[in-house]
Amino acid sequence: MADGSRVRVAGAGDIKPGEARVIEAEGRSIALFNVDGRYYAIDNLCPHRGGPLGEGDVDGSVVACPWHAWRWDVTTGANTNNPAVKVDCFAVTEDASGIFVQIG
């Protein structure tokens, strides 16, 4: 589809506030975060060395890559030290049937 795909990635309420989950959707590895009840999705691969961001420590809206501690704002995809460096972000919606990520 030209505008991408809306993909169900979790059930409503499956990811608690402060938690993250790595999901695979449309051939992409995506890190999904619950920040104070709002969901955010970014590319799971840290551009530094490919570390899995969805397995990193989350502090508010910031995740630290578990491999080398590069820090990313999950709401914008921006690196906290150099906001010009970003990872891809994906739109997330939630309804009674689940949590959905817009891919593409």
Return mean pLDDT, the chain.
94
- Write out pLDDT tens, residues 77-86: 999 999 999 9
3-state class of 91 per DSSP? coil
Model pLDDT, residue 104: 80
- Write out pLDDT tens, residues 48-71: 999 999 999 999 999 999 999 999
Strands (E) across the chain are located at 5-10, 20-25, 28-35, 38-43, 57-59, 62-64, 71-73, 89-90, 92-95, 98-103
- Distance, in Å, from the CA atom of 44 to the CA atom of 52, rounded to the nearest integer, reads 5
- Distance, in Å, from the CA atom of 53 to the CA atom of 58, rounded to the nearest integer, reads 9
User: And the tokens for 73?
Assistant: 């704002």
User: pTM for this one?
Assistant: 0.92
Domains, in order of start, for the chain: 5-103 (2.102.10.10)
3: pLDDT confidence band, cut at 50, 70 and 90? low
